[in-house]
Structure 1
Amino acid sequence: MYQGKGGPQREAKTFVWLIALCAVAGPDCRAARSATVLFCPFDSLAGWSVRTVGAGEAKIEARAEGNPCLAVFAHRASVLLSRRLPVDQLRGSRVSVGCLMRTEGVVAGPQKTSVAKIHLAVVAAGRVEHFAARLGEDSRWGHQGFTVDVPAEAERVILNLGLEGCSGRAWFDQLLVRNDRRGVYPLDLSPVANASHDQLGLDAFPQGTIQWEGIPFQIADPLQCPGGDCLRLKGIDHPDWPAATAAPIRVGRGATDIYILHGVLGGRQKSPTPCAMWTARFAGGHDAGLSVFEGRQVGPIGSTEDLENWRVAWRGEDETGRPITLGVTRWRLYANQPLLELTCRAYHGAPPVIVAVTVVEEPPPSEVESEVESFDEMGEAAGDGALYP
């Protein structure tokens, strides 16, 4: 991380400008109510205000592996992107800000702050505190970030990144802002729903939002979803049904656990092969998988017995009084990167029926200490590189 040379420098004018710039920035459509506050893969500049002073530009371009990222160029200039964060999700919490960054030929300007940066301005009680991670010269792709304790009386929180008063190039990708709370997010399955419960011969079916051990599941509304209220995949008795989800199920946030509300039609007591296989794709390009075996990770629709990793979560009855049930499987994830999307495909077994999926994000662990600098509203240093665990 670039630390600069010499004593503290004044940057009040710059930060006043950044705050004024963000006054017109709109809310982010991907903002969540807890845990992940913002995840930006930089596939567009939507939601950002861009200010260029001098010769420079900001644009979206492809990384070597083809994924998009933000590219910023400046020649003795400032190119900064800004947006206002939802302060109600940040007040009174410890907030972590992290991003992948790369620099090339960054020549620092006259001030200590005149390099590539990720910056957070917190407005509270008539004062502005500034926190930043900075990078200069040449560096490979790597994670840069910091944590901040946002006061309960915070009025505005503004995020900025780019090049300030310097020359060179910088790239940014996979920006993630998280608080220290627990997030629970029912996913929208309507884009991949391909059947209604009555097509499957189920006289009873959950509707709206149901709860199981504090986890909400949102059931697709067949009146608003042309595909129906569930996802069915092919199986031994139904080889003509779809083999996989028609499209990825979008997530776009941090995730530690996935809860799947599902069952199989028919089913075997134990199976040597999985009936379905899930894939989770994370930012950074790596995947994780879950193989769903009958008798362990999923049970027949109508079974009232819990299994190794399938707990009966919803019960109903058909016209004859026979039970109709669905169970929940928990999928624990071990990844520090945001979860981009989920897919599911049938393998060899009874036909799986997926009704709802909910992602849970537990509070992030404390980050490794990194040196960051904070400034008051006049640009004076608030300390010699305060440490935030």
Structure 2
Amino acid sequence: MQSLSERTAGFTDSVIRRMTRVSMQYDAVNLSQGFPDFEPPKELLDRLAQVAYEDYHQYSITWGSQNFREALAAKQTYFMGRRIDPNTEIVTTCGSTEAMMAAMMTVTNPGDKVIIFSPFYENYGADTILSGAEPIYVPLVPPDFHFDANVLEDAFRQHPKAIILCNPSNPCGKVFTREELETIAALAEKYDTYVITDEVYEHIVFAPNKHTYFATLPGMWERTLSCSSLSKTYSVTGWRLGYIIAPPEIIDRAKKVHDFLTVGAAAPLQEAVVTGLKFGQDYYDDLQAKYTHKKDLFLKGLDDLKIAHTDPQGAYYVLLDIAEFGYESDLAFCEDLAHYVGVGAVPGSSFFREPVNNLIRLHFAKKDETLLDALNRLEGLRDKIKPKHR
């Protein structure tokens, strides 16, 4: 038998999804994989029930149904402050996961280089490798996760084809300041580099931080592929609805890549979510208030337990420092945490290119009672995780 793909030989299964399975095995509160345990907006559920009996069960237009693209274009025009053409500047994808893959395959050739900030969402490195490109990692330095502009320019001097920018960032919750984005923009222009953004947490930002759409910076529209999804904004991670917004010449190519990857996103769900895309500003204000409350509740609980942690500026993740427990493997710690304490987390090493083994990621996109349950379990952390369990 011939050997299998060398390109994928180094792949493991997703550590995030693996920790969900570990959480289920030990009946742990799953704060690993980032999905809510509360319902989507009732308006979406009501519309979904109606759509089940309407004529939306066959293929829609490959790059997204007309209704969906028009509603999305109107929403993003409002928030981005730039008119988005629903017919030439949007392609609908099967979640932001496919959006990122399609964007990568649209702009890169085998042998190209791609800059990725570390820590990073685990798919980015895999997307780069699957495209035949080579990742260049630039560290975001804890605890505030700043980057060194000189180190970043050293990466740009390798003439990358693209840079991936997750803002707000998973897993560290960093919201890039406008000044930081302008630094990245100047380098992207200087070295003629595409910018692929992952902005799925665009509406989950904690005051006084503000989210700036990279594509709206001067001169950046022409070289930016803005990827996002509806999963986090409307609490529908299982609906798998994402998109790319970019100039027409880029979208024209991305449509073709998307067509051969997945043909199209689920037609009934595209129709059902239009209701959410038409929500007013009040919905997004309430969403921010909801997650601010959850962040405050969870981080206060961690403070009360004297567990060292980061203070995210956006998204819904917090990194805990487990150095006091002396584990050489953060994966082993997370397995013990699920087994003996009953809380599911993700080892931070799965997000860092650097040898970081003292951080684990939890998320707070859960009902208050779920977060309180997790905090109650964490009260026994230092009693239940001892050297005998290492």
Please classify the TM superposition score into its range, dividing by the shorter chain length. Answer: under 0.3
Q: What TM-score, normalized to structure 1?
A: 0.24
Larger strand share, 1 or 2: 1
Q: What TM-score, normalized to structure 2?
A: 0.24
Higher relative contact order (CA 8 A, sep 6+): 2
Q: Which protein is bigger by CA-based radius of gyration?
A: 1
Larger helix share, 1 or 2: 2
